[in-house]
Structure 1
Amino acid sequence: MDVLRQLRGFYREKLHYLILSIICLAAATAVGLITPNLLRRLIDDVIVPRKFTEVPMLAIAVVVVVFVKACLQFAHGFFGGRLGNFLAYRLRNACYEKLQFLSFRYYDTAKTGDLMSRLTGDLEAIRMFIGFGFAQLLNVFFMVLFGSAMMFSINWQLTLVTLITMPFLAGIALKFESKIHPAFQEMRLALSALTTAVQENVTGVRTVKSFARESYEVEKFSHRNERYKNNQIFAAELWSKFFPLMELMASVSVAILLGVGGTLVINGRMSLGELVAFFSLIWYIIGPVWGLGFQINNYTQSKASGERVLEVLNQRIDVKDKENARELVSSEVKGDVEFNHVTFAYGNKMPAVTDIHFRAKPGTVIGFLGGTGSGKSTITQLMMRAYDVNEGSITLDGVDIREYNVRSLRSQISTVFQETFLFSSSIRNNISYGLKNVTMDEIIRAAQLAKAHDFIMEMAEGYDTVVGERGMGLSGGQKQRIAIARALLKNPRILILDDATSAVDMETEHEIQAGFQEVMRGRTTLIIAHRISSLRHADQIIVMNEGRAVQQGTHEELIEVPGPYRDVYRIQYADYLSRATGREGA
């Protein structure tokens, strides 16, 4: 029950619904005990003495009892449903909100399919148990208590003899719970892996087909599906082992009742009506004890699901605001960025960047050049506090960025990532993402600067064209230009371009760069690029290698000295340089 206690804060506000649900179910259980008494009276007071004039009254009494019980059960379902839905609503919002604020470090290893499984299947299991299962589990106690009390009132000796197998039946049910809980935990993990496989396959279907790896994906899915099937079979085997034992114990109780009770009736120590009522009451007790395994099954599922949901809710947020963190005001931000001997490593890995030191004065452009894994993108992620540095500091206008409110810091930064992400919405909404009171003229202006306006207008619905999931239906260059327009519309003080023109051709890149000249004016800009053409106009270029800055200077300074920058320049401009040399020779 520890899991339910941890979740209590999500349903405490509507706890009265749980109380009302339990009361209504307990009342329905108590009302249900009237039926065996009516049956006893029918036999002993009507059938045996042949007083059939009372039959209509007994029939009306049965109808009234059934109606009242139905009303109470309806009320139980009503209040339980309200509670379960309220809990699911609160819990779903809390999980989604937590996912929004979890650090980048969490998403480095998180799997989309697993998270989807937690927010759907696991939440549903919790909703059903809190809404209905808990009251039903508690009702087992009510039914045993009320039924035993009624049986004792009829014949306490027969009650003791008949209920002798109940402790064994309860013990089997509890043993079943201890076995089934780990099985359901493993089943949830297997289902999560299965969901992840489907999600990854659908997302990467173009890659799968381009490599003709359909058979491989089918085989991979089959393995995960088999794991899930085996878990289901193992759980079914547990049910097949334990439930026949429960049925055996229940049958023994009934056999004892009929043997001992029948003898008492024959000897005149018990009426026939009392035996029939007793027979109804024994099933009134055996039913819930026998079904204890089913209720425990629901509990174990919800417990396993609750643990998985709590893993998300209790996840540590690595990057968060300090107490009394400063709020950045756009009009006061100058954009003076400085990295002071920064070192950072992802987890326990080798440092991604080591002793990085540079200053970007307001309005200047800093370019980063280097091979894959050299640490270029890490620098930009540290700037937006995706991660906190291990050593050194990063300052904005002379203040450590850890002193600022994270939200307000990122509101001053626009980033265009190398891997462009677009939402399944219109192009207009993708460009104006997260911004309110944006005019259409401003959207068009940003698209024009990003050289996206012309191809957007060629589409049938223009800016109202809905792009597919993750921008499907658009070329890589088109997606990238829409992402650039989105960044420009934000009107940031700091602009980060992480290889933002890698998916466009040289001519389009030149046009975008020309548009950037206007946009960059007055803003601090960090540019990551593989093409020197994107960096040559930067105020300072930093060449990265294995996480360290191996060269710094302007384009003109760096091509004059031997080093990696001049080597890259000669490779990228080999044709141009050879033609220039040929003209000089001529």
Structure 2
Amino acid sequence: MSEQRGNGNGPARTGPPPGRGPMGPGGMGGMGGMGMPVQKAKNFKGTLRRLAGYLKPQRMKLLAVLVTAILSTAFSIYSPKVLGQATTKLFAGMMGRINGDPNANFDLPGIWKIVVFLASLYVVSSVFSYIQQFLMAGVAQKTVYGMRNEVNEKLGKLPLKYYDSRTHGEILSRAVNDVDNISNTLQQSLTQLITSVITILGVIVMMLTISPWLTLILLLTLPLSMVVIRGAAKRSQKHFKTQQMELGMLNGHVEEMYSGHKIVKAYGQEEISVEKFDKINERLYEAGWRAQFVSGNIMPLMNMVSNIGYMFISVVGGIMVTRGSISIGNIQAFIQYARQFSMPLVQTANIANIIQSTIASAERVFELLDEEEEVPDAAEGSDAKLASPKGDVALKGVNFGYKEDAMLIENMDIDVRSGQTVAIVGPTGAGKTTLVNLLMRFYEVNGGSITVDGVDITRMQRGHLRSLFGMVLQDTWLFNGTIRDNIAYGRLGVTEEEIVEAARAAHADHFIRTLPEGYDTVLNEEASNLSQGQRQLLTIARAILADPAILILDEATSSVDTRTEVHIQKAMNQLMQGRTSFVIAHRLSTIRDADLILVMNHGSIIEKGTHNELLAQGGFYADLYNSQFVGGGMKQIVS
């Protein structure tokens, strides 16, 4: 069990989410995302129903969004026909003048009434559109707010084995990227889908009221449009997929080279690194150029198809005007409707891809929410609490395996009394860290029991149980904050004097005061502005300040120099007085002074006793101990 800041697999966005164009949802005015690779859900219908369940509490607002979308779109759709009426009046006045009618006049009052009415339509349409966006923003954010809370609560209930079996990047990607994808779709694409569908239906209705024959001509161009869209999207799909793959490789290479730039420079590998970057970048350029070129042709091709439709509409419409079967204003309105008709079709097809990707993201989030949780804590009020913990620890007949059919620890019995120091040694994979995981209930035993002061740990709340332990691990963990905050992390309400006293006990006070800001020095994200040894001293100070009943020390001084180790060892000896201490693979001096040494191998305790007793036995421990002597000097026992 080791504390970590991360494993380098954090969620790095390598481009727009699948199904979205490079300029946001629908990119290039709803065209650019047509060829983007789409992540598909395994169970689309089931996931869609479950996601819809999150929207149920907001159903009244969603109904209001639908009503305002219909009204906004309806007013917008009706506007071209009203504008056509003004054009007809102007055309009638102009033709009267041309034909020499002395009584022919422009109906300016009528035209002004139409203009005012048209302006009112635009204003009302904008108002309803604003209300629609305002309501949908609230629906989307409240829905995702609840989902994020569920994910956060779930992450706190998942057992340690879930985190051990997955990369940090994968978990964070589900909790952040996938939830953001759902949020963006609810916020933007859903309203766009509603308005696109309403626009298509409304435009068809309005065109039919003007001329069924012209409407038929326009609809005949739809198959050609679909062929163009499908062909371009299919060709660009493979290029977008390659682009995303190469972009991920480029990001991985840059991250790797940046995190290890000292090693790269030390071994003189800069040229090779740059050469590899250039090769990946060249492939990314080729894939990106082809993807953008092919998808960028969709709009010109669609315009070409639309222009063919306009040509037929103009010719047929002109003939109809000359025969007096249709007014010129209606022809103008029809052409506007024809222009409005093609864009929602492409947007709808694009949004269908986005929704596929969103359902896939929702499925990944739901998989996280459906993961098996930790065994429930003891119920409030019935849980046991130790008011004055002594630190007696006992394991009786403990069996444990990470897999049910492969036991790592079998029938383990340990009895540790308060104030004893227990050293745990053994080769890698012997089960030393597993034993600590079981003590702190990060994993549940398959059989037997573990007690602290005679109380079974399953009867305690996990938070109370873990408050009894203080940990100093080989892998230090410090967060982005001041040194003062990092030392005080394990205990609430501490004073400045207590923080400084703990730092002095850990021999950290001197180096802290040499820093420009002292205890107010802010550590960066990886605490890389301190040396490894200094970071270890701060974690030791944190454990000292926490004042726990039981200590767990895992290679606690492995990262400090020999002189500092002597000081820390004195502080540790003082800290361990009166406390039960488990020392895992510690320095030889600590092991020699331990009250009990447990020698583990393959999950079992094969030897136990004091240092001298185990040496006298001449067994596994003696061989391990003697192997640490090199030229008369002694090395630490390592796991």
The equivalent of 1:163 in structure 2 is 219
Q: Could you say what secondary structure the match of 1:33 adopts?
A: helix
Residue 191 (structure 1) shift: 6.5
Residue 149 (structure 1) shift: 1.8
Q: Could you say what secondary structure the match of 1:414 adopts?
A: strand
Which residue of the other structure, out of 34, 53, 62, is the alignment partner of 2:78? 34
CA contact (8 A) 1:480 1:503 kept: yes
Q: Provide, for residues 51-103 of structure 1, a one-character-per-residue CA deviation record: whole Å limited to 9, x for no partner.
A: 24233333333332222223232333333333344445444454444444433
CA contact (8 A) 2:425 2:432 kept: yes
Equivalent AA in structure 2 for residue 414 of structure 1: G
The equivalent of 1:46 in structure 2 is 90
Task: Indicate how the Cα distance of structure 1 residues 293 and 577 shifts in structure 2: closer, same or farther if over 3 A, else same.
Answer: closer
CA contact (8 A) 1:428 1:443 kept: yes
Q: Could you say what secondary structure the match of 1:387 adopts?
A: coil
Q: Which moved more, 1:522-531 or 1:111-120?
A: 111-120
Aligned: 1:76 with 2:114: no
The equivalent of 1:134 in structure 2 is 190
Q: Provide, for residues 328-347 of structure 1, a one-character-per-residue CA deviation record: whole Å limited to 9, x for no partner.
A: 52415443322334444445
Residue 365 (structure 1) shift: 1.7
Q: Could you say what secondary structure the match of 1:560 adopts?
A: helix
Aligned: 1:368 with 2:412: no
The equivalent of 1:528 in structure 2 is 584
Task: Indicate how the Cα distance of structure 1 residues 287 and 461 shifts in structure 2: closer, same or farther if over 3 A, else same.
Answer: closer
Equivalent AA in structure 2 for residue 56 of structure 1: W
The equivalent of 2:548 in structure 1 is 492
Of all paired residues, the percent bearing the same amino acid is: 33
Task: Indicate how the Cα distance of structure 1 residues 56 and 471 shifts in structure 2: closer, same or farther if over 3 A, else same.
Answer: same
Distance 2:370 2:274 in 1: 35
Aligned: 1:65 with 2:121: yes
Aligned: 1:439 with 2:495: yes
Residue 9 (structure 1) shift: 5.7
The equivalent of 1:321 in structure 2 is 376
Equivalent AA in structure 2 for residue 132 of structure 1: Q
Distance 2:278 2:450 in 1: 49
Distance 2:280 2:385 in 1: 51
Q: Unpaired runs of 5+ in structure 1?
A: 579-586
Residue 176 (structure 1) shift: 8.8
Distance 2:112 2:345 in 1: 35
Distance 2:205 2:279 in 1: 54
Distance 1:120 1:78 in 2: 24
Task: Indicate how the Cα distance of structure 1 residues 172 and 349 shifts in structure 2: closer, same or farther if over 3 A, else same.
Answer: farther
Q: Which moved more, 1:103-112 or 1:523-532?
A: 103-112
Distance 1:396 1:82 in 2: 49
Equivalent AA in structure 2 for residue 369 of structure 1: V
CA contact (8 A) 1:176 1:242 kept: yes
Aligned: 1:277 with 2:321: no
Q: Could you say what secondary structure the match of 2:592 adopts?
A: coil
Distance 1:108 1:190 in 2: 29
Aligned 1:241-320 pairs, distance under 5 A: 250-317=306-373, 319-320=374-375
Q: Could you say what secondary structure the match of 2:481 adopts?
A: coil
Aligned: 1:410 with 2:466: yes
Q: Could you say what secondary structure the match of 2:470 adopts?
A: strand
Which residue of the other structure, out of 204, 212, 224, is the alignment partner of 1:148? 204
Q: Could you say what secondary structure the match of 2:414 adopts?
A: strand
TM-score normalised by structure 2 residue count? 0.78
Aligned 1:547-566 pairs, distance under 5 A: 547-566=603-622
Task: Indicate how the Cα distance of structure 1 residues 558 and 517 shifts in structure 2: closer, same or farther if over 3 A, else same.
Answer: same
Distance 1:227 1:22 in 2: 45
The equivalent of 2:32 in structure 1 is none
Distance 1:173 1:133 in 2: 19
Task: Indicate how the Cα distance of structure 1 residues 168 and 120 shifts in structure 2: closer, same or farther if over 3 A, else same.
Answer: farther
Q: Could you say what secondary structure the match of 1:144 adopts?
A: helix
Task: Indicate how the Cα distance of structure 1 residues 361 and 227 shifts in structure 2: closer, same or farther if over 3 A, else same.
Answer: farther
Task: Indicate how the Cα distance of structure 1 residues 315 and 249 shifts in structure 2: closer, same or farther if over 3 A, else same.
Answer: farther
Residue 43 (structure 1) shift: 2.8
Distance 1:511 1:413 in 2: 23
Task: Indicate how the Cα distance of structure 1 residues 577 and 432 shifts in structure 2: closer, same or farther if over 3 A, else same.
Answer: closer
Distance 2:245 2:457 in 1: 39
TM-score normalised by structure 1 residue count? 0.84
Q: Provide, for residues 244-300 of structure 1, a one-character-per-residue CA deviation record: whole Å limited to 9, x for no partner.
A: 775565445434433443333333322222222222222232221133233334334
Distance 2:363 2:231 in 1: 21
Equivalent AA in structure 2 for residue 455 of structure 1: F
Equivalent AA in structure 2 for residue 104 of structure 1: L
The equivalent of 1:462 in structure 2 is 518
Distance 2:622 2:76 in 1: 90
Distance 2:70 2:543 in 1: 60
Q: How many aligned residue pairs are there?
A: 577
Residue 420 (structure 1) shift: 0.9
CA contact (8 A) 1:185 1:304 kept: no
Task: Indicate how the Cα distance of structure 1 residues 174 and 30 shifts in structure 2: closer, same or farther if over 3 A, else same.
Answer: farther
Task: Indicate how the Cα distance of structure 1 residues 434 and 19 shifts in structure 2: closer, same or farther if over 3 A, else same.
Answer: farther
Distance 2:442 2:150 in 1: 21
Distance 2:251 2:448 in 1: 42
Q: Which moved more, 1:145-154 or 1:451-460?
A: 451-460
Equivalent AA in structure 1 for residue 133 of structure 2: G
Equivalent AA in structure 1 for residue 376 of structure 2: D
Equivalent AA in structure 2 for residue 21 of structure 1: V
Q: Provide, for residues 195-232 of structure 1, a one-character-per-residue CA deviation record: whole Å limited to 9, x for no partner.
A: 66655655555555555555666677778878877886
Task: Indicate how the Cα distance of structure 1 residues 564 and 485 shifts in structure 2: closer, same or farther if over 3 A, else same.
Answer: same
The equivalent of 1:583 in structure 2 is none
Distance 2:408 2:623 in 1: 23
Distance 1:398 1:230 in 2: 68
